[in-house]
Structure 1
Amino acid sequence: MTNPFERADTTYLVLMNDEKQYSLWPSYIIVPEGWTVVVADQTREICTDYINAQWTDMRPRSLQEVVN
């Protein structure tokens, strides 16, 4: 069985939650509650590049606000 998060033959989504945390998600799997699609139906590479460019601080938003 192939890992659905590593398939080259599918499209992916980039999800973000209220804490500004990101997730790579196969587009054929239902988006979990609490997550919003910020990039839709792209290759895995495009999605991971987006996540790497946007998610530069791994701390949840609530922790970033307290510390900053």
Structure 2
Amino acid sequence: MMDDQHVNPFDDERHLFLALVNAAGQYSLWPAFREAPAGWRVVHGPDQRAACLAHIERVWLDLMPAAV
């Protein structure tokens, strides 16, 4: 079993997450304790990891990036 120091923050369901989107319409799951990277904006959360992933699956219907 892995200890807490080796858990990937993107997989650690004990934390809250954000759903982000960029100008090209691409979505990302992001830990809420980290600031969103430049060029990305929060569109859902903070919320549980599963809820953020469900939001992304609901709204990201076209996986092709938009022309920016």
Tell me the TM-score normalized by structure 1: 0.88
Give 1 or 2: higher helix fraction: 1
- Give how far 1:27 is off: 0.2
Aligned partner letter, 2:10: F
Matches of 1:38 and 1:46 in 2, distance apart? 12
- Give how far 1:58 is off: 0.5
2:30 matched residue in structure 1: 25
> Identity of aligned pairs, percent?
37
Gaps of 5+ in 1: 64-68
Report the RMSD for the aligned CA atoms in angstroms.
1.2
Tell me the TM-score normalized by structure 2: 0.88
1:3 matched residue in structure 2: 8
- Give how far 1:22 is off: 0.3
1:49 matched residue in structure 2: 54
- Give how far 1:4 is off: 0.4
1:60 matched residue in structure 2: 65
Q: Which runs of at least 4 in structure 1 moved beyond 6 Å after TM superposition?
A: none
1:37 matched residue in structure 2: 42
Alignment of 1:15 onto 2:20? yes
Question: Secondary structure at the residue paired with 2:30?
Answer: strand
